């Protein structure tokens, strides 16, 4: 059995977009985990993980999605999953993460839904 995963990343208007194609499992998960720290993610940005062409995602794959979320949270950014295949969506529901990951039907929809942090809106609480 082959364990093939292709990872494409680009920078969209809202932040980095990584598209995973193939099987995300015990064998291929380290490949994506290794790539995550290299993503330039600024506060207020949105990390898009596009799963449109993901054919398999096991428990190790779930850890990759969680690592992506941890990365985004650490950078004061957000993470969204797009085009989640039915099977993956069922696993996410089983492990109770459907409330944790926001999803959009496509990467374009996710980028359209993103609100850029306005420069005038201070990151610090008002009144300072």
Partner 1 sequence: MMGKTDGGENNEGGPASEDHLDGQQAVFSALLEDSAEDLYEHAPCGYLSTLVDGRIAKINTTLLDWLGYGRDELVGRRTFSELLTVGGRLDHENHVAPLLRMQGGINGIALELKAADGSRLPVLVTSTVRTGSDGQPLLIRSTVLDARDRRAYETELLRAREESDRERERLKRLNETLQKTLLPPALANVPGLDVAAYYHIASSDEVGGDFYDLFPLAAGTWGFFLGDVCGKGAGAAALTSLARYTLRAAAVYDPDPAAVLTNLNTVLNHEYNGHDPRFCTVIFGLLAPEADEADEAGFRVTLASGGHPPALFMRADGRADYLPTPGGQLIGILPDAHITTTTIRLGPGDTLLLHTDGLTEAHSAQAGSRYGDEALLEFAGDLAPTTARDAVAAIRDLLDTFGAGVDDDTAVLALNVPRSTREEQK
Q: Which residues bind partner 1 (CB under 8 A)?
A: 1, 26, 29, 33, 36-37, 58-60, 62-63, 66-67, 70-71, 87, 94-97, 99-100
By beta-carbon proximity to partner 1, the closer residue of 12 and 102 is 102
As measured in angstroms, the least distance from the Cβ of 126 to partner 1 is 28
Rounded to whole angstroms, how far apart are CA atoms 73 and 6? 25
- Do you know the residue count of the chain? 128
> Beta strand pairing status for 78-82 and 102-104?
parallel
By beta-carbon proximity to partner 1, the closer residue of 26 and 42 is 26
As measured in angstroms, the least distance from the Cβ of 104 to partner 1 is 22
By beta-carbon proximity to partner 1, the closer residue of 58 and 108 is 58
By beta-carbon proximity to partner 1, the closer residue of 51 and 62 is 62
As measured in angstroms, the least distance from the Cβ of 86 to partner 1 is 11
**Residues contacting residue 107 through CB under 8 Å, at least 6 positions apart:** 12, 17, 19, 48, 50, 52, 82, 83
Both ends of the chain: CA-CA distance in Å? 59
């Amino acid at each position: 059995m082959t364990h093939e995963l292709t990872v494409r990343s680009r920078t969209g208007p809202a932040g980095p977009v990584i598209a995973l194609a193939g099987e995300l499992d015990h064998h291929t998960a380290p490949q994506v985990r290794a790539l995550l720290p290299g993503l330039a993610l600024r506060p207020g940005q949105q990390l898009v993980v596009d799963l449109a062409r993901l054919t398999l995602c096991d428990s190790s794959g779930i850890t990759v999605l969680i690592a992506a979320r941890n990365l985004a949270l650490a950078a004061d950014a957000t993470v969204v999953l797009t085009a989640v295949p039915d099977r993956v969506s069922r696993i996410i529901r089983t492990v109770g993460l459907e409330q944790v990951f926001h999803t959009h039907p496509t990467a374009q929809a996710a980028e359209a839904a993103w609100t850029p942090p306005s420069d005038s809106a201070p990151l610090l609480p008002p009144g300072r």
